[in-house]
């Protein structure tokens, strides 16, 4: 079973993502950026769901740090911000994809399947 690391600080969002994904994937959860970097490097997940609006170290910086060791792991940025340029900024930081919150469950599952086969 493939492993997904969820880097998200909001319990409600963690619960939602867990409900959507727990039957098909092993899930790891980090609630802040430094923990996300450490868990990614220690566990080499198959895919990472990255909240962009994390406290202390945001998702952009967290993604950049993960990319120093995990160059090819797919990272999907998730954010409530839907401003023009946010998706571009996420991709420049190293995200492969970007989805806005609230997350469209069908689209999220489709994107994950595209990356994980």
What is the total count of domains within the chain?
A: 1
- State the pLDDT at residue 81: 76
- State the pLDDT at residue 117: 86
Q: Are 78 and 50 in contact (CB under 8 A)?
A: yes
Confirm whether 108 is domain-assigned.
no
85-102 confidence digits (pLDDT tens)? 889 999 999 999 999 999
Confirm whether 113 is domain-assigned.
no
For 52, other C-beta atoms within 10 Å of its C-beta total: 24
CATH code (residue 30):
3.40.50.2300
- State the pLDDT at residue 98: 96
CA nearest to 110, candidates 101, 44, 99, 32: 99
Confirm whether 17 is domain-assigned.
yes
CA distance 111 to 66: 20
Confirm whether 8 is domain-assigned.
yes
- Does pTM surpass 0.95? yes
CA nearest to 79, candidates 105, 59, 56: 59
Confirm whether 112 is domain-assigned.
no
Structural domain boundaries, residue 19? 3-103
User: Which element (helix H / strand E) includes 16?
Assistant: helix 11-21
Query: Where do we find the tokens 């930081």?
Result: 93
CA distance 81 to 50: 13
15-28 confidence digits (pLDDT tens)? 999 999 999 999 99
Confirm whether 111 is domain-assigned.
no
């Amino acid at each position: 079973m493939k492993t997904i690391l969820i880097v998200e600080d909001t319990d409600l969002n963690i619960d939602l993502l867990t409900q959507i994904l727990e039957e098909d994937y092993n899930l790891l959860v980090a609630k802040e950026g430094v923990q996300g970097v450490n868990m990614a490097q220690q566990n080499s997940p198959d895919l990472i769901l990255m909240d962009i609006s994390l406290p202390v170290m945001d998702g952009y910086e967290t993604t950049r740090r993960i990319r120093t060791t995990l160059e090819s792991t797919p990272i999907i940025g998730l954010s409530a911000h839907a401003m023009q340029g946010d998706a571009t900024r996420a991709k420049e930081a190293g995200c492969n994809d970007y989805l806005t919150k609230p997350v469209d469950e069908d689209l999220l599952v489709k994107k994950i399947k595209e990356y994980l086969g």
